Amino acid sequence: MSDTVWRPEDDPNIRPPLQEGQVYRSDILDVIETSLDGLSGELRTLSLDIHDHPELKFEEKYAHDTYTAFMEKHGFIVTKNYHLETAWMDALPGIGHACGHNLIGMSGVAVALAAKAAMENLNIDGKVILLGTPAEEGGFGKVMLYEKGAYDEMDVCLMCHPAPGPRHSISLSGCLAISRITVEYQGHTAHAGLSPWEGQNALDAAVLAYNNVSLLRQQIKPTHRVHGIFEGKDWAPNIIPDHAIMQWLVRAPTTSEMEDTRKRVISCFESVFHYRLVRMTKQYYIFAQSGCTRIWMQSSSYGWIGRQRNQAKQSTCGLVLNVVPGDELADVVLKRYGAIDYEWGIKSASTDFVSVSHIQKVRES
């Protein structure tokens, strides 16, 4: 059962066998289950509504208004536009909520409401904070909110992310560290038919760099990921392009591995030219000049340590499992709900949620 990956056509009533034994505070779980069962219809409608209205990073106005109205309806004290103008989860360009961010938002709402119900019914002291965060897709949303003090009152912060895996399972896998690199090549335009020799082709430089990375993939570990795209403006086939941009992501299981591969990828961009390195605050700018074109490079990412230590580079660390709460979660799931997965989840993806943990660690050190 645990080896079978869930598919939409699967029968939801087929569940893995549960382990025998008691779990801690089953009375809390009873209240949570009753609360979620009662909210199931509303939560599904909420999720589908957000799915039907995808918004890009820092444009999540519909999501902000929809979620805050929902929480007000259910008795929460709501502060709108908290530190940032937009909130909740963003979608991907062109394909909408393909990462299931509508499910992340709905799950956060569900957990907050269920925790509230358990605390009220069982007289448990505490405070539940539901924080809507924008721009997970490369916008540093959670880091920006952390720097503005949005997490100051929190003792524990939880988030979940949908992912493939076995039926009725919860994943305890990690995720990959990630670095984002923007590369810009500047050349000189010319008519491609009348006088192409007068041009300096920025797109050619980008293509050469892209091919360099493609060849590099033969020598990187199978657990590493390097992927990128071209971007251009005012391109035409009869004009030599004088400007080309590439957007790249470099991922690996640990920060040190990611940094090693990242350096090799940057060498692929630099090798198109003789270059000199100019370091500027919080970013790397690599500027090169030759008879062909110029290159300007910015390396950044979710950036937990660069923002705290004024370092030049920014990158998100990989997620490392905390064994103690992980084992407790596994015990509850295996005895009461389903299966535990260590192989799927977001093991080969990345999330800026990891940044919050690492920023806190830096500030406390």
Q: Which domain holds residue 257?
A: 177-309
Domain-embedded: residue 7: no
Q: What is the pLDDT of residue 317?
A: 59
Domain-embedded: residue 314: no
- Kindly state whether residues 282 and 185 are assigned to the same domain: yes
Grade residue 323 by pLDDT with cuts at 50, 70 and 90.
confident
- Kindly state whether residues 118 and 33 are assigned to the same domain: yes
Q: What is the pLDDT of residue 14?
A: 87
- Kindly state whether residues 151 and 184 are assigned to the same domain: no
Q: In the predicted model, is pLDDT for residue 280 greater than 60?
A: no
- Kindly state whether residues 299 and 359 are assigned to the same domain: no
Q: What is the DSSP string of 290-313?
A: -SS-EEEEEEE-S-TTHHHHT-S-
Distances (CA, A) of 250 to 199, 210, 305: 32, 13, 17
Residue that wins the pLDDT comparison between 90 and 202: 90
Q: What is the pLDDT of residue 265?
A: 94
Q: Which amino acid is at 218?
A: Q
Q: What is the pLDDT of residue 361?
A: 54
The encoded tokens of residue 351 equal 């999330």
Residue that wins the pLDDT comparison between 140 and 96: 96
b/e code 71-94 from CB counts within 10 Å (16+ = b): beeeebeeeeebebebbbbbbeee
Q: What is the pLDDT of residue 334?
A: 96
Residue that wins the pLDDT comparison between 350 and 48: 48
Please compute the mean of the pLDDT values over residues 75-87 and round it to a whole number.
Answer: 96
Domain-embedded: residue 98: yes
CATH number of 243's domain? 3.30.70.360
* Nearest 10 degrees: Cα torsion 106, 72, 142, 59: 80
- Kindly state whether residues 155 and 193 are assigned to the same domain: no
Question: Above pLDDT 70, what percent of the chain?
Answer: 84
Grade residue 254 by pLDDT with cuts at 50, 70 and 90.
confident
- Kindly state whether residues 61 and 159 are assigned to the same domain: yes
b/e code 146-180 from CB counts within 10 Å (16+ = b): beeebbeeeeeeebebbbebbbbbbbbbbbbbbbb
Grade residue 70 by pLDDT with cuts at 50, 70 and 90.
very high
How many folded domains does the chain comprise?
2
Q: In the predicted model, is pLDDT for residue 107 greater than 90?
A: yes
Q: How far apart are the first and last CA of the chain?
A: 44
Domain-embedded: residue 218: yes
Tell me the range of 35-44, 240-249, 275-284 where mean pLDDT is highest: 35-44
- Kindly state whether residues 159 and 225 are assigned to the same domain: no
Q: What is the pLDDT of residue 273?
A: 64
What is the layout of strands, in order, in the sheet containing 225-231?
A: 225-231, 243-252, 177-186, 294-300, 283-289, 275-280
172 closest CA partner among 333, 336, 342, 322 = 342
Q: What is the pLDDT of residue 213?
A: 96
How does pLDDT run across 141-191, given as a tens digit for each residue? 888 899 899 999 988 888 888 888 998 999 988 888 888 888 888 888 999
Domain-embedded: residue 245: yes
State the chain's mean pLDDT as an integer.
84
Domain-embedded: residue 132: yes
How does pLDDT run across 212-246, given as a tens digit for each residue? 999 999 999 999 999 999 998 889 999 999 889 99
- Kindly state whether residues 78 and 140 are assigned to the same domain: yes
How does pLDDT run across 325-355, given as a tens digit for each residue? 889 999 999 999 999 998 888 888 888 887 7
Contacts of 210 (CB under 8 A, 6+ apart): 228, 230, 246
The encoded tokens of residue 67 equal 């979620």
Q: Which amino acid is at 297?
A: M
- Kindly state whether residues 229 and 254 are assigned to the same domain: yes
What sign results for the dihedral spanned by CA atoms 297, 298, 300, 305?
positive
Residue that wins the pLDDT comparison between 209 and 140: 209
Please compute the mean of the pLDDT values over residues 65-71 and round it to a whole number.
Answer: 97
Q: What is the pLDDT of residue 319?
A: 65
- Kindly state whether residues 51 and 118 are assigned to the same domain: yes
Q: In the predicted model, is pLDDT for residue 261 greater than 50?
A: yes
CATH number of 47's domain? 3.40.630.10
Q: Is 26 helix (H, G, I), strand (E, B) or coil?
A: helix
